[in-house]
Structure 1
Amino acid sequence: MGRKRGFDEATVLQVVRDQFWTTGFAGTSTYDLMEATGLGKGSIYKAFGNKHDLYVRVFSDYCQGLVAEARERLQGGPEAVLPSPIARLECYLVAVANVFAYESPHRGCFLSKVTADRAGEDEKVAQTARRAFDDLAGAFAATIRDAQDAGEVADDVDSSALGYVLLSVIRGIDSIAKADVDGVMLEQTVRSALALIPRAAPPRAEG
């Protein structure tokens, strides 16, 4: 029977993620992780592997949580607070934009930071980032298809392409918010992007 760990894994992973979020992969040493977590080098390696293993682990966990939250907030069904798919999409995207705009300090999204820092040279990171981007764009696309079914959006709209357009808008907001761009302008950017989605024509009156 193995010995019970003397630490809470979820808490340690959160501390590690925040350390990487603040100082990046190259700027974080194993000793930095030891100091942040209070664990010895041997304990870290035994539980999580080397620094790169731990980096990929916390990045993957973050991406899975980000996608799961987006899907939960965008999905419809009898429990949905907002019955309109377009309204749910707008509510979610505006909320995300406001987080980027008004957080202090402006550290942005961990997905964006890791992608910029490591995806060009680390295939595991690149694969995880691509999957997260595909899944987020897919969640937006699924909501747009729901809006088409509800008669809110034109049937000839390419929902998959539009899902990536909205993803690009919100990722861009993540980037420029770090320069302290006005939050009202960032929110209006989201609303303007959504307003460009072709709406379904109203039903023709009979008679």
Structure 2
Amino acid sequence: MPRNKEFDYNEKLRAARDLFWKKGYNATSMSDLVEAMKINRSSLYLTYGNKHDLFLKSLEDYIRDKDMQYRIASELSAEPLQAVRNIIRSVFQSAVKEGNCLFTNSVFELAVVDRQVNSMLTAQSLKTVSLFEKLLTAAKKDGSLKSDKSPRALAHFLVSGLTSIYNVQILFSDTQLTKQTAEILTGVLE
């Protein structure tokens, strides 16, 4: 008779996600995952698949959290340009609080060599571009965005800039410098 799982799926997934986030994909071993998740190896394989499958599930979970973060930040203001600023501010706050970003780490560690990871990261980036483009188009319409740049081009630039906020924090661990980076990015909207 098979045993019922005696653990919370999402709780263990978060433990794996946090380990990948901290160490990166390549530096994380299956033994590390077993220890961090506090489940036996066979349960890990039966429930989550191999290391790569578990990483993809972890990245998907992280992306869901980022989607929610951006949505909540954008909804803090009915003004579209302020909504964009709120998203950038939330990324700055996350970078300082968390120190790094699983998404950003994955771009540099895996996006060039892993098609599935590249596909997930590209889809998420395009989703964020779409969110920014929608807000920037509305801001152009209401006259608050004066830029002669296309909302789509600005949206792509802003998404790339979000990564730079994390890069500065990861490399320099300097809150003031990270804040300045976020402010420069926001300044593009003036």
User: Scaled by the length of structure 1, what TM-score is found?
Assistant: 0.82
Matches of residues 57-206 of structure 1 in structure 2 within 5 Å? 57-75=57-75, 81-100=76-95, 102-103=96-97, 106=99, 108-154=100-146, 157-180=149-172, 182-197=174-189
Unaligned runs of 5+ in 2: none
> Is the 2:59–2:103 contact (alpha carbons within 8 Å) kept by the matching residues of 1?
yes
- Structure 1 counterpart of 2:94, one-letter code: V
> Is the 2:136–2:151 contact (alpha carbons within 8 Å) kept by the matching residues of 1?
yes
CA-CA distance at 1:50 after TM superposition: 0.9
CA-CA distance at 1:161 after TM superposition: 1.0
- Aligned mates of 1:22, 1:68 — CA distance in 2: 21
CA-CA distance at 1:158 after TM superposition: 1.1
CA-CA distance at 1:33 after TM superposition: 1.1
Unaligned runs of 5+ in 1: 76-80, 199-207
**1:178 partner SS:** helix
In the TM superposition, what whole-angstrom CA distance separates every residue of 1:68-96 from its partner, at most 9, and x where no partner exists? 33134324xxxxx4232112211221231
- Aligned mates of 1:86, 1:71 — CA distance in 2: 14
**2:87 partner SS:** helix
- Structure 2 counterpart of 1:148, one-letter code: K
- Point out the structure with the larger helix share: 2
Q: Percent identity?
A: 24
- Aligned mates of 1:132, 1:159 — CA distance in 2: 18
- In the alignment, which residue of structure 2 is the partner of 1:202? none
Count of residues in Structure 1 that have an aligned counterpart in Structure 2: 190
**1:67 partner SS:** helix
CA-CA distance at 1:189 after TM superposition: 3.2
How large is the Cα RMSD of the aligned pairs? 2.3
**2:171 partner SS:** coil
- Aligned mates of 1:72, 1:57 — CA distance in 2: 23
- Structure 2 counterpart of 1:36, one-letter code: A
